[in-house]
């Protein structure tokens, strides 16, 4: 009987995390509206991948790469299709925290937090160290 209650509790907990994650999954325009990031569930956390860019190619017509990446082995990867957000875990009150953000425009990686403002608006905060010393960018749902 004790095991049945434990199993029921775990099932309900995972279901509520999954439901909350689904509130923010989907396609989102970044603040500049020059890219769409698709947020998806990945092992009960959220990740995000660049799935559309206003200007996906450089001045020579080649796909934009990641030349500022501190890891030299990753500098030749395409920006389009790049996973640039990982491991955002639901906390409470429409907040996902503990994630990592990579900015291919600068080559910098930040800690991150997502706050879902309403079904079509989210705030993405990137910071180094503590969240108070970061920057917030507002994204809008693409579809």
Q: What is the pLDDT of residues 6-16, one digit of tens each?
A: 443 444 344 34
Which residue is listed with tokens 């990982």? 86
Q: What is the pLDDT of residues 109-128, one digit of tens each?
A: 999 999 999 999 999 999 99
CA 111 from chain centre, in angstroms, equals 11
Please state the domain extents for the chain: 2-141
Rounded CA-CA distance 127/118 in Å is 22
Q: Which pTM does this prediction carry? A: 0.84
Q: Which CATH topology does 2-141 take?
A: Lipocalin (2.40.128)
């Amino acid at each position: 009987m004790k095991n049945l209650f434990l199993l029921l509790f775990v099932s309900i907990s995972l279901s509520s995390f999954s439901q909350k994650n689904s509130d923010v999954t989907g396609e989102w325009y970044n603040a500049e509206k020059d890219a769409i990031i698709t947020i998806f569930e990945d092992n009960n956390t959220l990740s995000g991948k660049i799935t559309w860019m206003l200007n996906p190619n450089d001045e020579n017509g080649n796909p934009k790469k990641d030349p500022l990446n501190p890891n030299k082995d990753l500098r030749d990867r395409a920006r389009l299709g790049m996973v640039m957000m990982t491991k955002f875990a639901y906390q409470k009150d429409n907040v996902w925290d503990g994630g990592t953000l990579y900015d291919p425009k600068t080559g910098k990686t930040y800690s991150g937090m997502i706050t879902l403002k309403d079904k079509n608006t989210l705030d993405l905060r990137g910071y180094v160290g503590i969240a108070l010393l970061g920057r917030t960018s507002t994204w809008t749902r693409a579809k």
